[in-house]
Structure 1
Amino acid sequence: MTKQVAGISAQTRWLILAIIAVLALGSVTVYAVQAFGRYQARTTGASAAQITDKLHDGNRIVFRNTAMGQGYGQIASVAIAEPQGPRELSQTVCDRVDATTEYISCMRTQRGIPTTFETRILDAQANTVVEWPLPGVPSRTRISEGGLVATTAFVTGHSYATDSFSTETVIKSVQGLDFGNLEDYSIFIDGQELTAVDRNVWGVTFDSENKFYATVASAGKTWMVEGNLAERRMNSVIQNAECPSVAPDHSKVAYKKRRAQSGLAHWDIAVLDLKTQKEIILPLDQGFDDQLEWLDSQTLLFGMPRTGSAGDSDVYSVKTTANAQPQIFIKDAWSPSVVRTTG
């Protein structure tokens, strides 16, 4: 005799569950097909940017190409002296990029069912050196001249603009060393150890092969921290500071600073003089959500999605002086990284 549960037989309940599962799988499949279709539309046809076969092996900007057509999403580079000039492309597609004279760190989404994520380290000629899996959506990466690689991935949620996200930030080396998850380090805020279970760490920038800066968040607050790999310890430097970036002369750190307002999150740019502890804030009419990059000691670069055009973005530059206004530096670009082989 078939068992009855709340007026519905067990067989009927299993049939209903099976139908729901099929519909859910169908929805996932439809979404995946639509997403792949949108990606195909961006990557086919002639490129909207001028492409060159000449390798930019001098002072250059390495970035993610977002010009529609062939080469969309691939690693690109332009000469620093001609940022709007022809761009050289590699065949590797990345979501986030950082580069030194020897290596390129590439965080990638491998589209499929299931979709997976990875970090791939390339040499200066874009040949793969090493790779490892990521636990979630690529967010931030930085690589040091000595081959230290920091990556931040979202493990839940997809935006720093909400309070529901969680991240995993790890540091490894091209040579195979693993410095672990930074959430496992000792973290001190104003001298008091932070042990809260809701703490998050993201947005590493390297000051040396042992010293770094990063963002720590807990209970709705953020701090820029100074970290020490050998001691596995981080100490707070300043509150309300995210995604730091150390200046080439190591005298200043630039970062995102969240504006006190209701509604959607809005970040301005701030620069801290590490010697005097003086902070300069550069208000932005349109807030941004990127990790800054230093073009030189007085100029910052950052990516900005293009309003009303999904998948498009541009790289802007801004001087670190009062009342400076951002200007487009490279059209159809994202995740800029400055590589200097000469002074």
Structure 2
Amino acid sequence: MTPVLARPAHRRTLALLAVTVLLATAAAVAVGRAAGRAAERDHDRAGQPAVRQGKFGLGGPGRLIFRNLAWGPRRDHLAAVPLNDPGAVRTAGPTDCLRFHAAAGTGVCLRATGGVVPGHEAVVLDERMRAVRHFPVPGIPTRARVSPSGRLVAWTVFVSGDSYAGGAFSTRTALYDTRTGTLHDSLEDFTVLIGGRRHEAVDHNFWGVTFAADDTTFYATLGTGGRTYLVRGDLTRRTLTAVRENAECPSLSPDGTRIAFKKRVRPKGADAPWRLYVLDLRSGREWPLAERASVDDQALWRDGRTLLYALPGDYGADVWQVPANGGGHPRKVVASAVSPAVTGP
């Protein structure tokens, strides 16, 4: 069978089409490579941590989980790194949070909600990071904590509309028992004792809960009358007893003997008003830590010797650490991160 030969004009058209395809492919490759090089330059110039998509749970040993603040599609998502290698490539999951904490396989995530009227909610997470309970909250998230056993969960939000507040802030702090399903939606319903006497005032504000191991005792901050107090809570008796003045955002040590807190060392409105301190609950002795920057955060015990906390950074905040004994030096351990939690031993 004699082959049918293409006409000369047709052959020229096919050749032109082939050249066009080759040129377009080469251009696309060149553009892609240039974009890649530009992205690498931007990454190097920005100094942002490397982030990869993946999965992780709340029960893994020796893991540091936090809200990722590195720019990119996973900003504000929870991410994890090995506790002994916090500068490693971070694994970011699908869960986004504004505030977060976890312990013993239970997590709490405070996040924004969509819809016609934006709002916020507290989400209780299980060990596999699945949402098991949702609670609407009346304001902007600021603090979150889970008890060492994973049974109790607490959160604090800023609210507006309280007539007594004036220009000051107002808060709501809630506690949730994952075992019984009991929600204490406001610590303002508890009885407050200051100096051994019942204290009643319309301006009671509570924030920064930290739990003891017995799942009954907890500590928090009380603000009233222009003063702040460290209060010890009893969940069974529904009481809050003031134990010290000028102590905010407490964090109980793993052995239950010390509390880290921020202490106001300068008047309201001044620059750098707070300093991190540690209080020995048995002796009543307190001491400042080596971090001299103003820390407006609820510190977290990395272990029995070291505290983690956030300071302002180039992309929102960075996580730092400092020895709890008052010695040593502060050190940045995780860039572009906030709201850390430690899992496992």
TM-score range, shorter chain: 0.7 to 0.9
Asked if 1 retains the 8 angstrom alpha-carbon contact of 2:209 and 2:250, the reply is: yes
**1:3-82 superposed matches below 5 A:** 48-51=49-52, 53=54, 55=56, 57-82=60-85
Deviations 1:303-332 (A, max 9, x none): 1221xx4x5211000112335432101111
Q: 2:117 matched to which residue of 1? A: 114
Letter of the 1:336 partner, please give it: P
User: In 2 relative to 1, CA 67–272 (structure 1 residues): closer, same or farther, beyond 3 Å?
Assistant: same
Q: 1:246 matched to which residue of 2? A: 252
Q: 2:91 matched to which residue of 1? A: 88
Asked if 1 retains the 8 angstrom alpha-carbon contact of 2:277 and 2:289, the reply is: yes
Q: 2:104 matched to which residue of 1? A: 101
- Displacement of 1:288 after TM fit? 1.4
Deviations 1:144-175 (A, max 9, x none): 22421111010129xxxx96100001111224
Please state if 1:169 is matched with 2:170: no
Asked if 2 retains the 8 angstrom alpha-carbon contact of 1:163 and 1:220, the reply is: no
1:296 to 280, 299, 303: 303
1:191 to 165, 180, 196: 196
User: In 2 relative to 1, CA 262–215 (structure 1 residues): closer, same or farther, beyond 3 Å?
Assistant: closer
Identify unmatched segments of 5+ residues in structure 1.
1-46
Identify unmatched segments of 5+ residues in structure 2.
1-47
Asked if 2 retains the 8 angstrom alpha-carbon contact of 1:79 and 1:85, the reply is: yes
**1:261-280 superposed matches below 5 A:** 261=267, 263-264=269-270, 266-280=273-287
Asked if 1 retains the 8 angstrom alpha-carbon contact of 2:49 and 2:89, the reply is: no
SS at match of 2:302: strand
SS at match of 1:183: helix
2:152 to 145, 148, 154: 148
Please state if 1:219 is matched with 2:225: yes
Asked if 2 retains the 8 angstrom alpha-carbon contact of 1:48 and 1:68, the reply is: no
Q: 1:328 matched to which residue of 2? A: 332
Q: Structure 2-normalised TM-score?
A: 0.79
Q: Give the distance between the partners of 2:128 and 2:174, measured in 1 at CA.
A: 25
Q: Give the distance between the partners of 1:122 and 1:272, measured in 2 at CA.
A: 31
Q: 1:34 matched to which residue of 2? A: none
Q: Give the distance between the partners of 2:186 and 2:140, measured in 1 at CA.
A: 16
SS at match of 1:296: coil
Q: Give the distance between the partners of 1:50 and 1:179, measured in 2 at CA.
A: 38
User: In 2 relative to 1, CA 95–54 (structure 1 residues): closer, same or farther, beyond 3 Å?
Assistant: closer
Q: Give the distance between the partners of 1:201 and 1:262, measured in 2 at CA.
A: 18
Please state if 1:210 is matched with 2:216: yes
Asked if 1 retains the 8 angstrom alpha-carbon contact of 2:64 and 2:80, the reply is: yes
Deviations 1:223-254 (A, max 9, x none): 00110000000111111000100101111010
Letter of the 1:256 partner, please give it: K
Q: Give the distance between the partners of 1:333 and 1:270, measured in 2 at CA.
A: 22
Q: Give the distance between the partners of 2:63 and 2:343, measured in 1 at CA.
A: 5
Letter of the 1:91 partner, please give it: P
2:139 to 103, 113, 136: 136
The number of residues matched between the two structures is 288
Q: Structure 1-normalised TM-score?
A: 0.79
Asked if 2 retains the 8 angstrom alpha-carbon contact of 1:121 and 1:130, the reply is: yes
- Displacement of 1:189 after TM fit? 1.1
Q: Give the distance between the partners of 1:146 and 1:58, measured in 2 at CA.
A: 15
Letter of the 2:219 partner, please give it: Y
Superposition RMSD in Å:
2.0
Asked if 1 retains the 8 angstrom alpha-carbon contact of 2:209 and 2:249, the reply is: yes
Deviations 1:185-215 (A, max 9, x none): 1111121221011111111001131110000
- Displacement of 1:100 after TM fit? 1.3
User: In 2 relative to 1, CA 116–188 (structure 1 residues): closer, same or farther, beyond 3 Å?
Assistant: same
SS at match of 2:231: strand
- Displacement of 1:264 after TM fit? 2.8
Higher gyration radius (CA): 2
SS at match of 1:58: coil
Asked if 2 retains the 8 angstrom alpha-carbon contact of 1:104 and 1:122, the reply is: yes
